[in-house]
Amino acid sequence: MAFEQQRRGWVQVPEGLTVPRALGGLWAVRHVQSAANLWYSDPATEQLPMRGTDAAVDLTAHGRAQAQLLGGWLAGLAAAQRPVLVVCSPYLRARLTWALMAEAAAGRNRQLPPIRTLVDERLRDREMGMFELHPYKAIRRRAPEEAARRERVGNWVYRPPGGESLADVALRVRGFLDELDVVAAGEQVLVVAHDAVVVSLRYVLDGLGAPVPDSLEPVPNASVSQWRREGPRLRLRVWGSVDHLSGGERAG
pLDDT for position 215 = 85
- According to DSSP, the β-strands at 85-88 and 116-119 are parallel
Question: Hey, is 190 helix, strand or coil?
Answer: strand
- The span from the CA of 142 to the CA of 115, in Å, is 45
Residue 13, strand partner residues: 2
pLDDT, tens digit, 9 for 90 and up, residues 41-86: 999 999 999 999 999 999 999 999 999 999 999 999 999 999 999 9
pLDDT for position 242 = 96
- The span from the CA of 82 to the CA of 189, in Å, is 8
pLDDT for position 1 = 40
Of the two residues 6 and 247, the one the predictor is more confident about is: 247
- According to DSSP, the β-strands at 188-193 and 85-88 are parallel
- Annotation: CATH topology of 23-246: Rossmann fold (3.40.50)
Res. 28: pLDDT tops 50: yes
- The span from the CA of 201 to the CA of 26, in Å, is 10
pLDDT for position 247 = 60
- The span from the CA of 14 to the CA of 133, in Å, is 37
Grade residue 16 by pLDDT with cuts at 50, 70 and 90.
confident
Segments making up each domain of the chain, as ranges: 23-246
Asked if residues 186 and 234 have their Cβ atoms less than 8 Å apart, the reply is: no
- The span from the CA of 45 to the CA of 47, in Å, is 5
CA distances from 161 to 128, 132, 198 (A): 8, 10, 23
Length of the chain in residues, anyone?
252
Q: Buried (b) or exposed (e) across 4-33, using 16+ Cβ within 10 A?
A: eeeeeeeeeeeebebbebebbbbbbbbbbb
pLDDT for position 17 = 85
- Locate the DSSP E strands across the chain: 2-6, 9-13, 25-30, 85-88, 116-119, 188-193, 224-230, 233-241
pLDDT, tens digit, 9 for 90 and up, residues 187-229: 999 999 999 999 999 999 999 989 999 888 899 999 999 999 9
Grade residue 18 by pLDDT with cuts at 50, 70 and 90.
confident
pLDDT, tens digit, 9 for 90 and up, residues 108-133: 988 888 899 999 999 999 999 999 99
- What does pTM read for this prediction? 0.91
Mean pLDDT of the chain: 92
- The span from the CA of 166 to the CA of 145, in Å, is 20
